[in-house]
Homo-oligomer: A and B are copies of this chain.
């Protein structure tokens, strides 16, 4: 697998990050990565269709919210927390502290 394109920190835009976080499935992925630190796509899909999950992972990656590293046949995902916290102090914390309804 080729490596995936990630925006540099300078390319990360608030609007795209907010959009990436504005979906319940993507928010669930971000919450799980917040709890677990790192997870494969398989561990994050919760039985949802692979095509739909690919879309959600791409939106999160292209917005700069998550990092996706290919490793053999699997892909390791993690939050780009350090960069997000530096660019948008308090944003991730405010989003993650909201309990699921």
Contacts and interface: CB of A to CB of B under 8 A. Distances in A.
Contacts of A4: none
- Chain A interface, DSSP helix/strand/loop, else mixed: helix
Contact of A15 (B16, B24, B91): B24
A18 B21 CA distance: 7
Given A15-B23, A24-B15, A91 B95 contact: yes
A18 B24 CA distance: 11
Interface residues of A, number: 22
A72 interface: no
Given A19-B19, A88-B94, A88-B95, 12 more contacts: A14-B95, A15-B24, A16-B22, A18-B19, A19-B22, A88-B98, A90-B90, A90-B93, A90-B97, A91-B91, A91-B98, A93-B94
A22 B65 CA distance: 14
A24 to B, nearest CB: 6
